[in-house]
Amino acid sequence: MLRPRFASRRVGALMSTRAGGVSCGVFDSLNLGTAVGDDPARVAENRARFARALGAAPTFLKQVHGRHVVRLPTTEALPEADACVTTEPGVACVIQVADCLPVLLAAPEARGVAAAHAGWRGLAGGVLEAAVEALCKAAGCAPAEVEAWLGPCIGPRRFEVGADVLEGFGLAPGTTHPRFVPQGAGKWLADLPGLARDRLQALGVARVDGGTWCTVEDASRFFSFRRDRPRHGNSGRLAAAIWITAA
């Protein structure tokens, strides 16, 4: 598993890889997704192993590529949201991905943590702005005090997009932008972690780490929907989690 550098005695944070589970085939081996066609019993065991690795209670969301933030803990069994925040020790904010970008956020002195699901739609729609605002309100801090970590996602050499993605970010197809490299025939290569870093820095979040892994290119460690779906019909799911420890 991957551990952000800001993980400490008071803030736990990690990101799963493919290793360490019991699933087979395209889901080999630590698939954490319940709606991808994997054996439910195997997924349940994988999630149990993930929870033990956390040492905290994970809350999974019903992610819909939006910007809604839910405060944890919640009485909802599967809250519909693309970001979550908590100030309670032992409650883990969890984001599932298979090419989208997971973003983990930590307030100073372990006063609060948050996680966001930043696919291009959510990113363009303001999910990071909503998550940072919710965390700062809950933890009583300013964006400049927040630390952020960008997990594995589809990388800038693999994320080919159309004009709809540029337009989602308010850009006309003929616009020159450092995060979109023209490929011809109405296609561009988009830098998803770069776009997220830009958004966070615009909010005042100066400490942004990670964003260097490509899920598509590293098949041995990561699931990738874009890579695996054409051949197998679906892909497993990774998860990133952050929590305040009980210590």
Q: What is the CATH number of the domain that holds 73?
A: 3.60.140.10
- pLDDT value of residue 7: 87
For the whole model, what pTM was predicted? 0.97
* Together in a domain, 168 and 108: no
- Are 167 and 77 in a shared domain? no
Residues 127 and 183 placed together within one structural domain of the fold: no
**Number of separate helices (H) and strands (E) present in the chain:** 6, 13
- Verify that 80 and 179 share a domain, yes or no: no
Same domain membership, residue 97 and residue 26? yes
Confidence (pLDDT) at 174: 85
In a domain, 5, yes or no: no
Domain count, the chain: 2
**184 and 97 belong to one structural domain:** no
Residue 1, domain member (yes or no):
no
Helix axes 127-139, 192-203, angle to 10 degrees: 40
Do both 181 and 225 map to the same domain?
no
Q: CA 116, CA 113: separation in Å to the nearest integer?
A: 11
Are residues 162 and 75 located together in one domain of the fold? no
User: 99 and 225 in contact (C-beta within 8 Å)?
Assistant: yes
Is position 95 within any domain? yes
- Going by their DSSP bridges, the two strands 11-15 and 238-244 should be labelled as antiparallel
What is the rounded distance in angstroms from the CA atom of residue 169 to the CA atom of residue 125? Answer: 8
Same domain flag for 125 and 237:
yes
Q: Identity (one letter) of the amino acid at 114?
A: A
Same structural domain for residues 80 and 167?
A: no
Is position 2 within any domain? Answer: no
Domain identity same for 169 and 64: no
**Residue 45 shares a structural domain with residue 161:** no
Domain boundaries, position 172: 157-190
* pLDDT reported for residue 232: 84
Residue 86 resides in a domain: yes
Cβ 58 vs Cβ 94: under 8 Å? yes
Of 98, 111, 61, 101, the closest CA to residue 83 belongs to: 61
Q: What is the pLDDT along the chain (247 residues), one digit of tens a residue?
A: 999 988 888 999 999 999 999 999 999 999 999 999 999 999 999 999 999 999 999 999 999 999 999 999 998 889 999 999 999 999 999 999 999 999 999 999 999 999 999 999 999 999 999 999 999 999 999 999 999 999 999 999 999 999 999 999 999 988 899 999 999 999 999 999 999 999 999 999 999 999 999 999 999 999 999 999 988 889 999 999 999 997 6
Q: From CA 125, how far away is CA 18, in angstroms rounded?
A: 29
